[in-house]
Chains A and B, each alone.
Chain A
Amino acid sequence: MKPAFFRPLELFESATSYRLLPFRFHRQDDCVLLTNEVGEFEFVDNAEFSSLVARKLERGDTYNSLKAKHFLSDGDVRVPLELLATKVRTKREFLSGFTRLHIFVVSLRCDHTCPYCQVSRVTQDRNRFDMSVDTANKAIDWVFSSPAPEMKVEFQGGEPTLNWPLVEHIVVAVEARAALETRHIDFVLATNLSALDDRVLAFCREHRIHLSTSLDGPMDLHNANRPRPGRDSYERFKTNLSRARAELGHDQVSALMTTTPASLGRVKEIIDEYVSLSFDSIFLRPISPYGFAKRTGLDHSYGAQTFLAFYREGLEYIIELNRRGVPFIEAYAQIILRKILTPFSVGYVDLQNPAALGTGVVVYNYDGDVYASDEARMLAEMGDKSFRLGGVSDRYEDVMSSPRLQRWAESSCLEAMPGCSECAYLPYCGSDPVQNWATQGDTVGHRPTSEFCARQTGLFEYFFDVLRNGDEFTRKLFLAWASM
């Protein structure tokens, strides 16, 4: 066959100049980070950025990459817009189905008196602080009023095992109804493990209930953070952790840590503790500004920069562990990396845009009040019921279509929030009107003085720096975490 005549590449290139598609940017020392609505990103150097916005960027690698990622378009704009639309739908998939997380506060009673705890009570007064069967039944009706085909029911407290018969009642009732309506429900029990008896374990095994527990670090730190009579929180935790794993399976028990002032400087020990108890991940969480934490002044005990230094040291130590062949994950990094590196929606209610209030999560308090988030009921325990949605006797439909809820949703759209609307990190961030209210006195909040924003900004800067300049091992590790 003779060489065929082919038309040259130039003939296939657009003759018209390009137009910009929506994006946000963040100037760094030697480059500019561009991000778009669906979380794709590109670094360009300062000169390229200037030509880009002046519509003078020449064709070449940068031009091509920006075109492929839909930052600019030089052809039929319908196609990039259609692809962007599909990607927005994928990224916002968490909105479909409506309320997916339902938290039952079955008791406010607890055997611990943690200084950072938002809500618990040490008391024997069952009548005042336990949820009643009647309240639970009405709350179950709420759960099934949400159209979501897959949901999660989480038991919180206080210490929910102190009102165990009610937990059993709820699980059995929910399962029966889910089977009838062909829905899938996962159960999570948030417990400090100290009251874990055979009955609880047997039931959890039979009904595949996941345990979410708390571990703050090595024995002295854990016991100092989590006082209980006998000062044996750690010992009980350790013993019951092995029992729970043996009964339920290793992966059925996870742990959360809270960073208190006493944790600062000890991040490696904390991580080592998790590794030695063969957990495969840790969630390095800052203290939340609610409840007793606020009352005791703990929330102001360290600022965003202190936390960031703590977090970075911890994360770098975890990366080092992985390099040495110990697979271990930091959970918050994983959430953020999923947002940055995958096209998928991340259903983590504490970092959602718009906020998950009501639409993503509902809390049924022990007394029958319904709150828009876990933080909202913590605030209520301090006397501020601003985020009370109503009571279990109200109709789900009425509450979910109430102007108040709509207002929260609107005022928690980052795209419409001052400071956030132009932030390059917006596609990966979330908003929390409750936290803004609690710390700054209004739901919209003020970004320049927001500790949350300072922390988020610091984290995003760090992750993007690693993605751009980090060594190959770390970048591959981050990709792997994002994809798990």
Chain B
Amino acid sequence: MAALVGTEDLSGYLAVISEEGGPRSLSVPLVHGVSIAHLDDRDIVHINRRGYVRTVIRNQSVSNSLFATDRCNSLCLMCSQPPRETDDRAKVAELTRIVGLMDPATKELGITGGEPTLLGEGLLEIIATCKARLPNTALHILSNGRRFWYSSYARKLAAVEHPDLMVGIPVYSDIDSLHDYVVQAKGAFDETIIGLQNLARFDVPVEIRVVIQRHTAPRLPELAEFIYRNLTFASHVAFMGLEITGFAKANLDQLWIPPEDYRVGLEAAVTRLATAGLNVSIYNHPLCSLPESLWSFSRQSISDWKNEFPPECEPCEVRPSCGGFFAWNLNHPQACKVRPVTTESLRSTAS
């Protein structure tokens, strides 16, 4: 980034973004009259022909993700990024280019979508580029796992030999039809479960993500047992609260379940897996929505820029370790009931 004064040598620059107005003739494209206060050194931006500037990588953030595609082969009831049928043929080139521009000191990078595996071999190319250019960056891929039903695809992913890669895959139920309903795709459960087994067979670390909503909440202990017996190899199991955006917002009436209605089941599920030695976390749950026995499993998981607390949290003594809320969840009164934790309230629940 350079302050633009006159007619400096712009070789090595791909484009210029300026807060100042007025067209100028430069040897590279210019976007002018936009705010750049939020941009930092080594951030990566994308500029399209019409002058839209989109921040792709914020170097200071720990939650950067590459959006592999908008397409998806599922249509989850609570999808936070509803899929769109788009032409993503240029995506692989774009994303490998971004990876090439990134700071090699980056700690973590996500790959998400849509469904990244729909890029097929292209996804493997992106991962291979990450391995070459960002060898010290942990890679976390969010996938529905269905493509790994093809063991050849799982084998190819393993063959990239990325040193620090994890695939996060949702399993919503121990019952195939219920899982299929949640993802609105018949046969998805079978594909995902076999996909997980295939990844395990080739030693690709996997994480299982369970989003808790009205349909998945009633069988949490049974789901935990299923995971323990069939997916014992999971490196991590995360139980996640609903992010009220996208479809989840549109379908909130059908999906919302107050945490107090499933805390007993969640406690049984988490203790079962944790006792058995699995690595378990709870995401997207404010501490006051969980029984105290589960607090140690709760992670402050919401990306910095999405995270907020309602004013009622003011007196709460556990706020520094609380995960808080998705900013958009706060627009829904039923989804942001809090019970501030104070020394007195703890004492009264203990007795």
Contact = CB atoms under 8 A, between A and B. Distances in A.
Interface of A: 1-4, 6-9, 11-14, 38, 40, 64-65, 67-69, 75-76, 79, 82-83, 86-87, 90, 342-344, 476, 479-480, 483
B276 interface: yes
Interface in B179-204: 180-181, 184, 186-187, 190, 193-194, 197
Given A9-B181, A12-B181, A343-B228, A79 B193 contact: yes
B308 interface: no
Given A64-B219, A75-B176, A480 B275 contact: yes
Contact of B177 (A12, A79, A82, A343): A12
Interface in B184-237: 184, 186-187, 190, 193-194, 197, 219, 222, 225-226, 228-230, 232
Interface stretch (B8-16, B122-130, B243-251, B329-337): B243-251
Contact of B175 (A6, A11, A64, A90): A64
B275 A479 contact: yes
Nearest to B79: A4
Interface in B275-289: 275-277
B197 A87 contact: no
Q: How large is the interface on B (under 10, 10 to 19, 20 to 34, 35 or more residues)?
A: 35 or more
A12 B183 CA distance: 10
A90 B275 contact: no
Q: Which 4 A-B pairs rank lowest in CB-CB distance, beginning with the nearest?
A: A68-B174, A12-B180, A79-B190, A13-B177
Interface in B57-75: 75
Interface of B: 75, 77, 82, 174-178, 180-181, 184, 186-187, 190, 193-194, 197, 219, 222, 225-226, 228-230, 232, 246-247, 249-251, 271-272, 275-277
Given A4-B250, A479-B276, 17 more contacts: A1-B249, A6-B77, A7-B181, A12-B186, A64-B219, A65-B222, A67-B176, A68-B222, A68-B225, A68-B226, A75-B176, A75-B190, A76-B190, A82-B194, A83-B230, A479-B272, A479-B275
Contacts of B272: 479
A9 B178 contact: yes
Contacts of A1: 82, 246-247, 249-250
A387 to B, nearest CB: 36
Contact of B276 (A65, A76, A79, A483): A483
Contacts of A9: 177-178, 181
B261 to A, nearest CB: 17
Nearest to A480: B275
Contacts of A76: 187, 190
7 contacts: A4-B75, A4-B247, A12-B177, A12-B180, A69-B226, A82-B194, A480-B275
Nearest to B215: A9
B177 A6 contact: no
A346 to B, nearest CB: 15
